[in-house]
Amino acid sequence: MAEKKTKVSVLLNGLLNENPTFRLLLGMCPSLAVTTMAKNGLGMGAAATFVLVGSNLVISLIRKIVPDKVRIPAYITVIAGFTTIVQMLMAAFLPEINKQLGIFIPLIVVNCIIFARAEMFAQKNGPLLSVLDGIGMGAGFTIAITIIGSVREILGAGTWMGIPVTVNLFEPAVMFILPPGGFLVMGLLVALFNHLTKKKKEGNGLECESGCGVGCPGCSKAANGGEA
C-alpha cells in the first residue's frame, strides 16, 4: 500500500484492477446463481452496491471505536442492517425482481465482497474514500454480473432484459440458463477478462512496486533484488 490513493484511482479500482467478480473472484454464489437473466444481474448488483456503500461508510466511521476483537460481529450487525433495508425496499418497490432473486437478497449479509471491502478497505480508510471504494466495487460487481447474465440470457433463452433477440432465429441452448452454463460462462469471461487486461499491462511495462524476487522477464526491480 505504498502508492498514494487518489479518489479517482479508488473509484476505478473496483472496475478493472480489482474487479470483485472477474479478478478477486469474490461473491461467486450470487454471480453464478442469479445470473440467468441480465435483469436479475442488474437488480442483484444494485442491491449489493447499496449495502456495500452503506456498510463501507458506517464501518469507516466506527472503525476507531470498535475494538479489534469484536469487529466481525460489529460489522455483521452493520451489514445486516443495510441488507434488511434493501430487502424491504425491494419487496416494496420491485416485487418482481425481489421474487426472482429470492434468498439471495438476505444472503447479501454474508456476501464476501462486502466483507472483504470492510476488512481490506473501510477498516483502514476514511469515510469519503470508503464510499468511493464501495461505489467502485459495487459498480464493478454490477457490471460483471450483468455481463454474465446477458451472455447467459442471450444464449440460453434468446432474449435480453426480457426482449426477444435471437429466440425467433434459432433454438436457444437451454444449458446456459442452467447451473453448468453459469460455471461455463463465468470461466470463459474470467479468462477473457484476464487476457484483455494482461495485454494492457504488458503494453505499459510491468508494474512492480518492490521487486518480488521471482525474476519475471521485463521486471527490472526483480533483477536487482532477486537472484538470477
**Closest CB 201 distance from other proteins, rounded Å:** 18
**Closest CB 26 distance from other proteins, rounded Å:** 24
- The C-alpha cell at 51 is 449495502
Of residues 173 and 196, the one with the C-beta less far from other proteins: 173
Q: Torsion-angle region of residue 162: left (phi > 0), alpha (psi -120 to 50) or beta?
A: left
Contacts with other proteins by CB under 8 A: the residue count is 11
DSSP labels, 130-174:
HHHHHHHHHHHHHHHHHHHHHHHHHHHHSEETTEESSTTTS---G
- How many H-runs (helices) and E-runs (strands) does the chain carry? 9, 2
| Interface with other proteins, residue 184, by CB under 8 A | yes
Of residues 165 and 190, the one with the C-beta less far from other proteins: 190
Of residues 104 and 176, the one with the C-beta less far from other proteins: 176
| Cβ within 8 Å of residue 113, ≥6 positions away | 20, 24, 26, 27, 48, 52, 137, 141
Of residues 85 and 191, the one with the C-beta less far from other proteins: 191
Nearest to 122 by CA among 138, 106, 108: 138
Please, which of residues 74-113 interact with other proteins by CB under 8 A? none
**Closest CB 32 distance from other proteins, rounded Å:** 16
The DSSP 8-state label assigned to residue 118 in this structure reads: I
| Cβ within 8 Å of residue 101, ≥6 positions away | 34, 40, 43, 44, 47, 90
**Closest CB 200 distance from other proteins, rounded Å:** 18
**Closest CB 152 distance from other proteins, rounded Å:** 12
Q: Mark residues 135-174: x for contact with other proteins by CB under 8 A, - for none.
A: -----------------------------------xx-xx
Please, which of residues 185-214 interact with other proteins by CB under 8 A? 188, 191
Of residues 14 and 172, the one with the C-beta less far from other proteins: 172
Residues that bind other proteins (CB under 8 A): 170-171, 173-176, 178, 180, 184, 188, 191
